[in-house]
Amino acid sequence: MAPVAYSGALQPKKKSELQEIAIALRISDQGTKDDLHARIKKHLDNNQDALEDNPVFAGLFGRRKRSVQPQPPPVPPPSSRFAPVESTHDNKPRSSTGRSRVTALDPIREGTPVKDLRDVSSFLKQPLSPQDSNSTPANSPRRDEPITPSSLPPLPPSAPTSVVKKVVEQLPKPSEVKAAVEARQQEVLQNGYELLLALRAFLSNSRNIWSLTSVFELLYILSVTIPWKTVQVRPFHFLSSTEVAHQLNAFLPQVPISPRGDLGPKFDLRYPPSGVFQTYAFWAVVFHWAVPTLILPTLVGCLISFNPNQPPKPKSKSPTTPSPSKRPVAPLDPLSASIVRLAVQTAYPYTTIATRTGVVGIDVLGSQWRIWSASVGLAFAFAEAISGTPQAVAKTVLHEQRRGIKYDLEEEDNDRESTPTRRALMSREDVENEVD
């Protein structure tokens, strides 16, 4: 294919034609039409010696070169305008200074050959869009030229490196992370130690031990005597299969949904039948367990107490009766209650009661379990009572000594009626504080 020869003035040419000339000259084809015109004209002036001898670009310098060297008729591009070909400037003499200065080029009208009329008609039916006219051909020789700042494509928007940088800057330092981990470990250890102390204080009370053993015994009796029923429960039974699928996929995406249309997982729920609480046998078992375990020990523990830690309060000298809220309440003595519990558990007549009531298996726990539980409670209550004995004995001794001193002082007062009544050297509150 013969190369295209460019001719004519640059000013009347279109932007697309100027871009083709710029691509052929291996210069940048970016910018407006005026920029292209100035860039091509400057390149032609700077390289006039080399380009005047080139038949492709010789037509851009006028007709002076054609008088010296014949050239083939120029073949205009398909996008040239319709105009008759004129050759009025063929005989124009060439200036001797044409190579040293820029000569004004006369406008040359171009025409389209008859063979290209079909292409021109198709172009008029489907004109090129501005984007297509400004685009660079795929086989543009500009790809081989060195990259210049003007030919570089626009830079893409900045990548989200700034966000990553901010995240990295906000990350704590290794020393801070280490200090936070150590502080967290110390906090966990401290909380665990406090929880252990609270649990120890709770279990170091004989009343709490008695309550725990009673609760475990009652739960075992209920689990054995009640005929429990079982029902299968589905958490998503009120939802459709589609909603269940969405629910399960939201929380457990790795578990596939069953194709059989099951409405989610199911589990067994045990519940007591309502008729069991209306039977005599159930209440007989619970009552005869509570009598030797809770009722009798609590009653005796409130009535009998050998603990000197709680001396009786002195009688009030005021004639008015104290209000019910200020009356002393007799506390439960766990040692007395544990002694009575062990004795009653050993001597309670379960066999006779079962024969009279006609209830088979009224002793659900058995004698061995009942006696063992009562013995453990008694041992803990005895250990608790021994731990507070020295302080209680010291208070009792000081109380007796105070009473003896007061008795001696009263006798001396009777012997010396003329002298004023002598008082005790120390008050009762000071003596109790000194003992503590």
CB 255 within 8 A of CB 282: no
pLDDT the model gives residue 342: 94
Distance CA 249, CA 170 (A): 34
Q: Of residues 259 and 379, which shows the higher confidence score?
A: 379
Secondary-structure breakdown of the chain: helix, strand, coil percentages, each rounded to the nearest 5 = 55, 5, 45
Minimum mean pLDDT range among 33-42, 292-301, 318-327, 394-403: 318-327
Identify which of 389, 401, 405 has the alpha carbon closest to the alpha carbon of residue 432.
401
pTM for the full predicted model: 0.44
Minimum mean pLDDT range among 41-55, 199-213, 246-260, 376-390: 246-260
Give the pLDDT mean for 367-383: 92
**For 97-108, how does the pLDDT look when each residue is reduced to its tens digit (9 = 90+)?**
444 444 555 555
Distance CA 133, CA 156 (A): 23
Give the pLDDT mean for 301-316: 65
* 375 has pLDDT over 90: yes
DSSP 152-186: SPPPPPPPTHHHHHHHHHHSPPHHHHHHHHHHHHH
CB 338 within 8 A of CB 381: yes
pLDDT the model gives residue 94: 46
* 88 has pLDDT over 50: no
At residue 46, what is the residue type?
N
Give the pLDDT mean for 11-17: 83
Give the pLDDT mean for 132-146: 48
Buried b (16+ CB within 10 A) or exposed e, 252-287: eeeeebeeeeebbeeeeeeeeeeeeeeeeebebbee
Instruction: Please name the helix (run of DSSP H) or strand (run of DSSP E) that holds residue 397, with its range, or none.
Output: helix 389-415
Residue with tokens 């269940």: 244
**For 261-278, how does the pLDDT look when each residue is reduced to its tens digit (9 = 90+)?**
455 577 788 888 888 888
Minimum mean pLDDT range among 62-66, 145-149, 425-429: 62-66
Residue with tokens 């470990």: 185
pLDDT the model gives residue 100: 44
CB 62 within 8 A of CB 102: no
pLDDT the model gives residue 190: 92
pLDDT the model gives residue 386: 85
pLDDT the model gives residue 159: 52
pLDDT the model gives residue 95: 42
DSSP secondary structure code for residue 136 in this structure: P
Give the pLDDT mean for 78-93: 43
pLDDT the model gives residue 288: 93
pLDDT the model gives residue 426: 53
Distance CA 89, CA 86 (A): 8
pLDDT the model gives residue 169: 78
Give the pLDDT mean for 301-328: 58
Instruction: Please name the helix (run of DSSP H) or strand (run of DSSP E) that holds residue 200, with its range, or none.
Output: helix 174-203
Identify which of 38, 22, 15, 6 has the alpha carbon closest to the alpha carbon of residue 134.
15
* 281 has pLDDT over 70: yes
* 251 has pLDDT over 80: no
Distance CA 258, CA 407 (A): 93
Minimum mean pLDDT range among 117-121, 210-214, 224-228: 117-121
Can you say how many angstroms the Cα of residue 227 is from the centroid of all Cα atoms in its chain?
45
* 339 has pLDDT over 60: yes
At residue 329, what is the residue type?
V
* Token output for 82: 């319709």
> How many other C-beta atoms can be found within 10 angstroms of the C-beta atom of residue 293?
24
Q: Of residues 99 and 406, which shows the higher confidence score?
A: 406
Give the pLDDT mean for 83-110: 47
Instruction: Please name the helix (run of DSSP H) or strand (run of DSSP E) that holds residue 357, with its range, or none.
Output: helix 350-357
Question: Mean pLDDT over all residues of the chain?
Answer: 71
pLDDT the model gives residue 393: 64
Distance CA 387, CA 248 (A): 58
DSSP 311-353: PPPPPP-SSSPPPGGGS--PPP-HHHHHHHHHHHHHH--HHHH
- pLDDT bracket for residue 96 (50, 70, 90): very low
Identify which of 87, 61, 78 has the alpha carbon closest to the alpha carbon of residue 7.
61
* Percent of the chain's residues with pLDDT above 70: 55
